[in-house]
Structure 1
Amino acid sequence: MEARTVLPGLAALGTLGLLGMATPAAARQDCVGRDTGVRLTVEVGRLKSETGEVTVTIYPSDPSRFLAPRGKLLRLRVPASAPTTEACFNLPKADIYAVAVYHDANGNHDFDRNAVGLPTEGYGFSNDAPSRFGVPSFDSARINVKSGDNTIRVRMRYGK
């Protein structure tokens, strides 16, 4: 008889989870990185297609590491979802960071360029940092991430 009274209670807990009323920890399982209470959600907008994936890279507050080989703090590749794709990161601490994204439409895990070095895939940076004559500076892409939940929007840019 006791099993019958306990099991309906367990079933109700499972139903709450299915209805989206899960615990806060369960709601953040899609974030990459160790949970420190500092989360950054990157919403990448203006994707032209749902082919391939979107690569989102987080850089730490050291300007010399921005866009440098092995300079990243965290990277996440997520399936492209037009017109907006979302990625979530647990960051080590509240601090200054910069974000770079690209639409890896062919899924080769490389940011493709043409023969003269111009991007052939979509790209973008935090603060929509300008990149008209080369890569933007860390200062133009820097964002201040505070404790708790933070969200930024990055607009994807495509070449002509």
Structure 2
Amino acid sequence: MKFLLAIITGAMLFITNSVTAQNKTITATVVNATSDEGKISFALYDKENFRQIPLQASVSKIVEGKSVVVFENVEAGEYAVICYHDKNNNDKMDFQSNGMPLEDYGTSNNVMNFGPPNYRDAKFTITDKNVSLEIRF
């Protein structure tokens, strides 16, 4: 009976450690905010929900032009991060009447084209290690 209990306990610990080991963190850092006013809002997406409802979202204050967030418990896979500088703290990105952004924004991989961000340029992969991203506006 003790032998069976030891096997079951060992199996449960192995399964628990395997599940926990699969979830990683993504640390996203904006390194060049133009001011410490307002905040920076970050959103984590996968291909299916890109620029819609984020898988995770976080807001961070700006200190000396830098802002950092950590997305936790992220499963292995392909993702993209978008962030913007909410200078006036109104919880939305502001645009000019012609559609040009009034507030700075950036994406993972720092590819900035004319027009809105696209998943193909911003995507990165998480496998067996935590990921750190440096995002520039």
- TM-score, normalising length from structure 2? 0.79
Q: Any idea what the Cα deviations from partners look like across 1:19-46, whole Å, max 9, x if unmatched?
A: xxxxxxxxxxxxxxx9964000001111
Give runs of ≥4 in structure 1 deviating > 6 Å.
none
- Match of 2:130, SS state, is strand
Number of residue pairs matched?
A: 118
The corresponding residue for 1:26 is none
The corresponding residue for 2:127 is 146
Match of 1:150, as an amino acid? Answer: V
Q: Percent identity?
A: 25
Give 1:123 shift: 0.3
Match of 2:121, as an amino acid? Answer: S
Give 1:145 shift: 1.7
Q: Any idea what the Cα deviations from partners look like across 1:105-155, whole Å, max 9, x if unmatched?
A: 1111000011111111110011112232x1132111101123342101110
Give 1:80 shift: 1.8
Question: Take 1:125 and 1:91, find their aligned partners in 2: how far apart are those partners?
Answer: 20
- Match of 2:134, SS state, is strand
| C-alpha distance 43-37 of structure 1, shift in aligned 2 (>3 A) | same
| C-alpha distance 35-109 of structure 1, shift in aligned 2 (>3 A) | farther
Question: Take 2:47 and 2:97, find their aligned partners in 1: how far apart are those partners?
Answer: 33
Give 1:76 shift: 0.2
The corresponding residue for 1:118 is 100
Contact 1:39 1:147 in 2 (8 A): no
The answer to which of 98-107 and 87-96 deviates more is 87-96
Alignment of 1:7-46 (within 5 A): 37-46=23-32
Is it true that 1:81 corresponds to 2:67 in the alignment?
A: no
Q: 2:34 aligns with which of 34, 48, 56?
A: 48
Q: Which runs of 5+ in 1 are unaligned?
A: 1-33
Contact 2:26 2:74 in 1 (8 A): no
Q: 2:50 aligns with which of 51, 62, 66?
A: 66
Q: Any idea what the Cα deviations from partners look like across 1:51-77, whole Å, max 9, x if unmatched?
A: 110001000242xx2112x2x101001
Give 1:81 shift: 2.0
Question: Take 2:126 and 2:108, find their aligned partners in 1: how far apart are those partners?
Answer: 12
Q: Which runs of 5+ in 2 are unaligned?
A: 1-19
Match of 1:56, as an amino acid? Answer: F
- TM-score, normalising length from structure 1? 0.68
